[in-house]
Structure 1
Amino acid sequence: MPDRLLLDAMLGKLARYLRMCGYDAAYALDRGVEADDDLLAVATAEDRTLVTRDRQLATRAPRGVRIDSREVTDQLRELRRAGFELSLAGEPARCGRCNGPVEPIDEDASVPDYAPEPSETPCYRCRDCEQVFWKGSHWEDVRERIEGL
């Protein structure tokens, strides 16, 4: 299955889940793109599969995947049925906020007050937006949701 995706404006939560599964999942609203022709142009220019809830748009895309469900768990089920591999990566690879690449933080590095100490909990930083991540309760909640599909 493709690993470079573009998700339309109706699929922002799904984009975050896919990023946690290691997909390069660009989100239309992060790019300021909403119009169908603009979405198609971005998908083509960046060689991305367009994931959309819009039936007509999905058929117009060179590589389009239509999602019918509104709830993220059902959306994940649809993608799994379509052949997408859905499991959390061993280590975070993509930023849940901006989709940038994530890298481990050294144990002695300084982190924002909201983050745990890297010497106690492995942390990761987005190379693009500098958001700090770690595998905490949200990671486990997502793991359970995906395993329950």
Structure 2
Amino acid sequence: MDVTSLLAGFLLGIAAMYLISAFLLKPSQKDAGTAPEASVTGDIKNLFDQLWQTHEQILNEMKQDLDNPDFQFHREFYVLKKNWGWNRWGFHQKGPCLAYFTDDHNNLSALLDALASHKLISKVEEAGKKSIKFRLSEGLVNLLRGKKTD
């Protein structure tokens, strides 16, 4: 085996490892130790800024809720109508909870769809309950907490 063959094999091995790590591994595998949902890309930040312009009232309400010491660690919230009876929809919550009302926010459904499509929230299924419950991602929590308001 000559030196040229050894050097060529070494360089091909490095190139193959680079290509595998750059294109085939998932981001969570490359960045072990950082939660994928906790990091926020520039595209998501831009999306959030656009959503803030359109849905400032509800997003600001969510921000205020997360800034409240009573709710700072809450990640789940309910979407309800004000005239729904809490027990009628299988809603049995111990302690304080976050709830947003479609009566107060006309475009709440559109906002939730946009956030869900970008994995900033996820729907939580509860067996035997008809209430609509969502979970905030840490990425959205970070965006909300970092948003400067007037």
Give the TM-score of the pair, scaled to structure 1: 0.23
Give the TM-score of the pair, scaled to structure 2: 0.23
Structure with the higher fraction of residues in strand conformation:
1
